[in-house]
């Protein structure tokens, strides 16, 4: 009997010592109407050519709605996030890949600005989806004189 108890303790102890799957509590139900989202993203952020609103901001992922009101966005790359983006409406252009030079760190693992060289461009329309892996330079703009609305699901890699 003692041997069985010792064996059970031996097997259970590593499981008890593991880090929980999430340090933060799971997200609860949330609803935001189309009109509320559109109102939140229709006013550009100070010094930027887009408006954005976060639906949530979890430790391992977040969801953001964005409305680009024109072109002129900065190139960026992030070391630890995968972007899953779906175009909701409008027209735009995605530049991705190549190299990013003369950019500045805008936060931990985040680099913005500078010049992209060797990037591939892709015209974007409503319903299009794309995925940007960590470390890939990218730039997303509305077509000149147009707006571009999309939702970003960012997942920590």
Q: Model confidence at 4, in pLDDT bands (50, 70, 90)?
A: low
Model confidence, pTM: 0.79
Burial class (CB in 10 A: 0-12, 13-18, 19+), 151: middle
d(CA 61, CA 153): 7
Q: Model confidence at 17, in pLDDT bands (50, 70, 90)?
A: low
Q: State the average pLDDT over residues 141-152.
A: 93
pLDDT at residue number 19 = 54
pLDDT at residue number 11 = 52
pLDDT at residue number 21 = 56
β-sheet bridge partners, residue 131 = 84
The per-residue DSSP string of 22-76 comes to -SSPPP------HHHHHHHHSSPPTTSSEEEEEEEE-SSEEEEEEEE-SS-PPPE
Domains of the chain plus CATH, in order, are 33-156 (2.60.120.10)
Q: Model confidence at 3, in pLDDT bands (50, 70, 90)?
A: low
Q: Model confidence at 84, in pLDDT bands (50, 70, 90)?
A: very high
Q: State the average pLDDT over residues 19-43.
A: 80
Averaged pLDDT of the chain: 85
Helices (H) and strands (E) counted in the chain, each on its own, are 2, 12
Q: Extract the tokens encoding 119.
A: 């990037």
């Amino acid at each position: 009997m003692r041997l069985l108890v010792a064996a059970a303790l031996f097997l259970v102890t590593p499981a008890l010592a593991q880090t929980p799957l999430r340090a933060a509590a799971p997200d609860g139900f949330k609803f935001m109407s189309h009109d509320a989202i559109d109102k939140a993203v229709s006013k550009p952020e100070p010094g930027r050519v887009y408006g954005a609103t976060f639906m949530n901001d979890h430790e391992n992922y977040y969801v953001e709605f964005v409305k680009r009101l024109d072109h002129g966005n900065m190139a960026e790359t992030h070391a630890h996030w995968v972007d899953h983006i779906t175009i909701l409406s409008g027209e735009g252009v995605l530049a991705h890949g190549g190299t990013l030079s003369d950019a500045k760190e805008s936060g931990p693992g985040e680099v913005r600005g500078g010049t992209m060289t060797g990037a591939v461009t892709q015209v974007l329309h409503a319903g299009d989806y794309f995925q940007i892996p960590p470390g890939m330079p990218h730039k997303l703009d509305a077509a000149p004189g147009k707006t571009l609305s999309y939702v970003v699901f960012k997942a920590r890699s």
